[in-house]
Amino acid sequence: MNLIDFLHPARIYTGETLRTGAMGGTESSVVHLAEALAQRGHDVRVFNRVAEPRHVFGVEYLPMDAAGAQTRGDIGISVAAPKAFSTASFRVPILWLHNPLKGFRQLRQGSVLSMLKSRPHIVLLGEYHARHVPRWLPSSGRSIIHHGIAGAFHREQSAAVAPQPRAIFTSQPYRGLDWLLGLWPEVRARVSDARFDVFAPKAHQANANAAKAAPDGVLFRGSIARDALVRELENARIQFIPGHRDETYCLAAAEAIASGVPVVTLGAGSLSERVRDGETGFVVKGRDEFVARSAALLSDDALWARMHRACLADSAIATWDARAIEWEALFERLSTRRS
């Protein structure tokens, strides 16, 4: 058993948040990994901005203000916050990054000094992510461990018939939503009964979406809990995700693929790593091809069925328990190295 402390100073959440409300990808990933490690016998605590200690689904959540006095000094995982190591010392410090990291910003914020002192091992989400984290940042090494996908998203049986022509968008609105709304009328001109449902990870994003003008066939559905999102994906035909330079993994795309929903994307950011072109979706080169491929998937049942089955068979989309095993191997390797 390992004593594992997560440090995530910028957010407030517990495992209950995951089950009762909408949640961002970083927060949900921390909860899923923490719970997966706890289920595998580790003693796991998460320090964030909760007001008081809570024990939820096998994980203890504690106020970040208490981290300096209450961390155990064994394995510490700082979530995208290098300076968190300034207040706590660990035998195995790990910096788990979720976004691109700009070196000049870390210098300005004083994070590099903390990294020089702690020399954390950096965990990244993929090759694209690795290329966008400066090599000169102080560390004891780097590893790539992909995100897991919650078991509820992993559809076990393929659909007997293709769903209605309904596209879905579940990513951050700033990652291409306005561009999609602009081309949607062209898609609908080719598939007249097509519908486009737009969701947002957070409530304020949903409110901003609702204030937009909705083209014909577009419904702004707000922000929903993850169990409701599972049901929405079960009945979706395709997922639209253009991609963005900040997209270092894209849980929205991986969740769709695990659910058997092909993705149409421009491949920006990490999307070309998530989607296998021509198999689990299409990685297109521009607006015209995006419209054409989307219309094809919305109207061609045989094409959709082939991609649907390929999505369900994609071995790169793993559960959080499988990812926890990879993290355990990292803990063992780093612990051996530092002993």
**pLDDT single digits (tens) 305-321:** 999 999 999 999 999 99
In the chain, % of residues over pLDDT 70: 97
Residue 277 confidence (pLDDT) above 90: yes
Q: Given this model, what pLDDT does residue 108 score?
A: 58
CATH topology of domain 151-312: Rossmann fold (3.40.50)
Q: CA 171, CA 241: separation in Å to the nearest integer?
A: 7
Under the banding of pLDDT at 50, 70 and 90, the label for residue 217 is very high
Taking CA atoms, 58 is separated from 22, 32, 34, 165, 327, in Å, by 21, 11, 9, 41, 18
Q: Given this model, what pLDDT does residue 102 score?
A: 65
Q: Given this model, what pLDDT does residue 106 score?
A: 58
Q: What angle do CA 108, 65, 141 make, to 5 degrees?
A: 50
Q: Given this model, what pLDDT does residue 225 score?
A: 85
What is the torsion angle, in degrees rounded to the nearest 10, for the CA atoms of residue 245, residue 235, residue 156 and residue 312? -40
Q: How large is the angle between the packed helices 25-39 and 320-338, nearest 10 degrees?
A: 70
The string of pLDDT tens digits covering residues 219-276 is: 999 888 888 999 999 999 999 999 999 999 999 999 999 999 999 999 999 999 999 9
Output phi, psi for 336, to 5 deg. -65, -40
Residues 6+ apart with CB under 8 A from 69: none
Look up tokens 């491929």; give the residue: 293
Residue spans of the domains in the chain: they are 3-148+319-338, 151-312
Residue 177 confidence (pLDDT) above 90: yes
Q: CA 8, CA 58: separation in Å to the nearest integer?
A: 18
Residue 339 confidence (pLDDT) above 70: no
Q: CA 301, CA 158: separation in Å to the nearest integer?
A: 13
Residue 337 confidence (pLDDT) above 70: yes
The string of pLDDT tens digits covering residues 5-62 is: 999 998 899 999 998 887 888 999 999 999 999 999 999 999 999 999 999 999 999 9
Which helix (H) or strand (E) is 27 found in, with range? helix 25-39
Burial 126-164 (b: 16+ CB within 10 A, else e): bebbbebbeeebbbbeebebbbbbbeebbbeeebeebbe
Pair 74, 2: CB distance under 8 Å: yes
Under the banding of pLDDT at 50, 70 and 90, the label for residue 204 is confident
Tokens of 59: 């994980």
The string of pLDDT tens digits covering residues 138-157 is: 999 999 999 999 999 999 99
The single-letter DSSP state of residue 237 is S
Same fold, 3-148+319-338 and 151-312: yes
The string of pLDDT tens digits covering residues 49-99 is: 999 999 999 999 999 998 988 999 999 999 999 889 988 889 999 999 998
Under the banding of pLDDT at 50, 70 and 90, the label for residue 103 is low
Q: CA 336, CA 295: separation in Å to the nearest integer?
A: 53
For the structural domain made of 3-148+319-338, what CATH number should be given? 3.40.50.2000
Mean pLDDT of 175-189: 96
Q: Given this model, what pLDDT does residue 336 score?
A: 85
Q: Given this model, what pLDDT does residue 105 score?
A: 60
Strands 59-63 and 54-56: antiparallel
In the chain, % of residues over pLDDT 90: 77
